[in-house]
Amino acid sequence: MKVLVFAEQRNGEFRKAAVEALCEGRRLADGELIAVVIGKGAADLGGQLGAYGADKILAFDHDLLELYSTEGFTACLQKAAETVSPDAILMAATAMGRDLAPRLGARLDVPVLADVTKLSFTDGNIEAVRPVYAGKLNVTVRSKKSPGIATTRPKAFLPTEPDGSKTAEVVAMDAAVGDLKARVKQVQSEAEGMIELTEADFIVSGGRGMKSAENFKIIEDLAKVLGGAVGASRAAVDSDWRGHGDQVGQTGKVVAPTLYIAAGISGAIQHLAGMTSSKVIVAINKDADAPIFKIADYGIVGDAMEVLPVLTEAIKAVK
Amino acid sequence: MNILVCVKHVPDTETAVKIGSDGKSISTQDVNFILNPYDEYAVEEALKIKEDKGGEVTLITLGPEEAKKTLRTGLAMGADKAIHLPCDAPPDSLSIANALAEVIKDIEYDLIFCGKQAMDNDNAQVPIMLAEKLGLPNVSAITKLELEDGTAVAHREFEGGVEVVETSLPAVISAHKGLNEPRYASLKGIMMAKKKPIEDKPCDCGDAAIEIVDVTYPQQRAGGKIVGEGTEAVPELVKLLQEEAKVI
Ligand SMILES: Cc1cc2nc3c(=O)[nH]c(=O)nc-3n(C[C@H](O)[C@H](O)[C@H](O)COP(=O)(O)OP(=O)(O)OC[C@H]3O[C@@H](n4cnc5c(N)ncnc54)[C@H](O)[C@@H]3O)c2cc1C
Ligand SMILES: Nc1ncnc2c1ncn2[C@@H]1O[C@H](COP(=O)(O)O)[C@@H](O)[C@H]1O
């Protein structure tokens, strides 16, 4: 089985989730593993993917491809698919991947298995497990058309260690990308050094119980000591204490850190939808009956405003 | 401006969904269905544009007969009319997009709105596939929109920032939370909705492109260990995180 993986990069850096998709592609492919790199300097960048097991890199480098565009990137992947005739196409279920995969699927007239957590080949086509109804159920689905396309949920697949001795052949590619009807005019980047929630190993989230935007300073302090990111419940976001990008849950982000600390969050079903795949969950809530304690591995009943600063100091001492 | 809004009838997010007797679908017994929450943002944005620029807002859904309840919800918010494409079990996104495109290609519109994702199968695909099938540009999961003459400028969040996308119109645009605050239907709106037209149009949902092998419940988290109360519990918690959970 031949697998094609779109290796998402921005500003010359591959996304962690893209490396995960590539490594999963290696596990799946008993034949060739081909990576597609799109953007400025794609050919130079692509070389390093050999270390994760890619046999060949198709590099699309074009001025119009410096910034993401659904149409431009779809044209490249369509060309790549025509060139190598893969049995499956994978990409990470990031903002970019979840925009690109359906467009490519519709172009090739094949379905997309979205945001999957497990993959295999069955009778020559891909089969996947994907959480549905905000994680209340898992469904096993099989693509009836080939090539099957899947987007892989960040952190659901483990990356392998890169092996620097392995190299891949880089092939410069050309695609007709002109005449984009929708294009990115500007990118407003977040502050340097911010850790993306979906990629974070440690997340400290605050809810309505934090009572004000200012009080999130104590959440930020703990996140910093842990080297993690700050999350929030919808109640905190809707109170304008945090931006939309920080919301965890059904209408926010789905996260799966090693450690998730929920402070002043009651544990509504829509919040749980975004964080129950975390490895370890800690809850701090002054109400001993709060539903969050039912799913938390460890709980402290108490005032988050008092507990968090002490916890921050205690962790600082052992880190 | 004439705007089409694609809406879906989905289980309420509070519902405890149960697996149906066939092991491949959900049991719809005792399940309260609602207008997909992301589609509320789509309807709201369409209504705001209509109020500003005039024109008509038409809702369209592919679903069972009961999905008309969801159409009424959108009509009560202020949409003018609705189209219902009968299909007892909406299949995969590709088939839904194909069926929607087949009907929409014969309708006149300036813009199509969708929700970012249907809160049943969480696919987030129909708007993008629909755009491709109609030969239109798409901008997915937007949190801000400004219309200019023949173009739209939208904001979409990605991991690490915001992309400001400019697109020609017509386009298919899908709404994320943050785009607006959906209005509640007024009592008058609810009364008026009863008289607004819902047109049934035959549609072909086709053969599903995805086969459902099985549906299972995820493993439940054990959880439930209270370490203690207040700041006094902190040393014990840190010890557990280090020695038992081994995460710090
Ligand atoms: C369609 C839909 C989608 C939704 N999507 C999301 C989503 O994506 N994410 C999300 O989070 N929610 C979502 N919600 C909202 C969800 O239902 C809850 O309303 C929300 O999660 C509640 O946030 P909260 O826990 O911060 O607030 P509350 O439920 O008000 O809980 C606050 C908690 O703080 C505790 N507390 C108060 N003071 C203190 C203190 N000093 N120290 C410690 N604890 C304290 C209280 O005991 C309480 O448990 C959605 C709802 C709907 C209908
Ligand atoms: N059966 C349907 N009828 C009409 N619109 C739909 C249907 N399914 C999905 N959509 C639209 O597409 C969006 C994304 O759905 P999905 O791709 O299924 O997650 C929804 O928010 C709706 O706007």
B114, with CB counted inside 10 A (0-12, 13-18, 19+), is buried
Task: Tell me, in angstroms, the distance from the centre of ligand 2 to residue B62's CA.
Answer: 9
A287 and A273 Cβ atoms separated by less than 8 Å: no
Ligand 2 center from residue B16 Cα (angstroms): 21
d(C-alpha B64, C-alpha A150), whole Å: 28
Counting one residue from A and one from B, how many pairs have CB atoms under 8 Å apart? 271
A140 CB neighbours in chain B (<8 A) are 212-216
Q: At what angle do helices A216-226 and A304-318 cross, to 10 degrees?
A: 20
CATH number, domain A197-318: 3.40.50.1220
Residue B25 lies in a domain: yes
Burial (CB count within 10 angstroms: exposed 0-12, middle 13-18, buried 19+), residue B19: middle
The answer to the question of residue B85 being in a domain is: yes
Q: What is the pLDDT of residues A77-89, one digit of tens each?
A: 999 999 999 999 9
- The DSSP bridge partners found for residue A229 are A203
CB spacing of A70 vs B19 below 8 angstroms = no
Contact status, residue A22 vs residue A54, Cβ threshold 8 Å: yes
pLDDT above 70 as % of chain A: 100
Q: Kindly give the distance from the C-alpha atom of residue A265 to the centroid of ligand 1, in angstroms, as a whole number.
A: 5
Buried b (16+ CB within 10 A) or exposed e, A97-117: bbbbbbbbbbbbebbbbbbbb
pLDDT of amino acid B94: 97
Q: Which CATH architecture has domain A3-173?
A: 3-Layer(aba) Sandwich (3.40)
Chain A nearest C-alpha distance from B209 (Å): 5
Q: Which of A182, A186, A294 has the CB atom closest to B139's CB atom?
A: A182
Of chain B, the percentage scoring pLDDT greater than 70 comes to 100
Is the model's pLDDT at A197 over the cut of 90?
A: yes
Run of H or E residues at B72:
helix B68-77
SS3 for B99? helix
pLDDT for residue A293: 97
| pLDDT tens column, A153-183 | 999 999 999 999 999 999 999 988 888 999 9
Nearest Cα residue to A109 out of B173, B123, B140, B98: B98
CB contact under 8 A, A181 and B140: no
* In a domain? residue B246: no
| Residue of minimum CA distance from atom 38 in ligand 1 | A209
Please name the amino acid found at residue A306: E
CATH code, domain carrying B54: 3.40.50.620
State if residue B37 touches ligand 1 by the CB under 6 angstroms criterion. Answer: yes
Residue B150 contacts A where some CB pair is shorter than 8 Å? no
Size of chain A in residues: 319
CB contact under 8 A, B122 and A293: no
Q: In what order do the strands lie in the sheet with A118-122?
A: A118-122, A125-132, A137-143, B210-216
Work out how many domains chain B is built from and give that number: 1
DSSP character for A124?
T
pLDDT for A46 beyond 80: yes
Asked if residue B140 belongs to a domain, the reply is yes
Whether complex ipTM tops 0.95: yes
Cβ–Cβ gap A106/B212 under 8 Å: no
B224 lies in some domain: no
Contacts with A95 from chain B: Cβ below 8 Å? 141, 156-159
Give the model confidence (pLDDT) of A240-280 as tens digits: 999 999 999 999 999 999 999 999 999 999 999 999 999 99
Dihedral sign (CA B2, B6, B11, B12) = negative
Q: B9 in a domain, yes or no?
A: yes
Average pLDDT over residues B129-133: 98
Task: Give the pLDDT score at B160.
Answer: 87
Alpha carbons A218 and B172: distance in angstroms, whole number: 42
> What separation in angstroms does the CA of B199 have from each of B68, B148, B164?
10, 31, 37
User: Alpha-carbon distance B210 to A46, whole Å?
Assistant: 32
The pLDDT assigned to A194 comes to 83
Answer for the pair A88, A1: CB distance below 8 angstroms, yes or no: yes
pLDDT number for residue A175:
86
Count of beta carbons in the 10 Å neighbourhood of residue B198: 15
For B147-197, the pLDDT digits (tens) are: 998 999 999 999 989 999 999 999 999 999 999 999 999 999 999 999 999
Can you give the pLDDT at residue B204? 85
pLDDT in tens, A123-141: 999 999 999 999 999 999 9
Q: Do A293 and B223 touch (CB under 8 A)?
A: yes
Q: Which of residues 186-245 of B touch A (CB under 8 A)?
A: 207-218, 221-231, 233-235, 237-238, 240-242, 245
* pLDDT per position as a tens digit, B93-117: 999 999 999 999 999 999 999 999 9
**pTM beyond 0.80:** yes
Residue B223 has pLDDT above 80, yes or no: no
Q: Where are the domains of chain A?
A: 3-173, 197-318
Q: Are residues B161 and A187, on separate chains, in Cβ contact within 8 Å?
A: yes
Residue B183 belongs to a domain: yes
Across the range A93-110, mean pLDDT stands at 98
Report d(CA A309, CA A284) in Å as an integer: 12
DSSP string, A204-259: EEE-GGG-SSTTHHHHHHHHHHHT-EEEE-HHHHHTTSS-GGGBBSTTSB----SE
Q: How far is the CA of A300 from the centre of ligand 1 (A)?
A: 17
Q: Which mutation among B4, B85, B114 tests ligand 2's pocket best, with the greatest number of atoms within 8 A of CB? A: B114
Where are the alpha helices (H) located in B152-246, listed in sequence order? Answer: 187-193, 234-239
In short, whether A203's Cβ falls inside 6 Å of ligand 1 is: no
How far from chain centre, in Å, is Cα A111? 20
CA B159 to chain CA mean position, Å:
21
**H or E stretch covering A106:** helix A95-108
Closest ligand (CA of B114): 2
Determine how many CB atoms are found less than 10 A away from the CB of residue B30: 8
Domain housing B43: 2-200
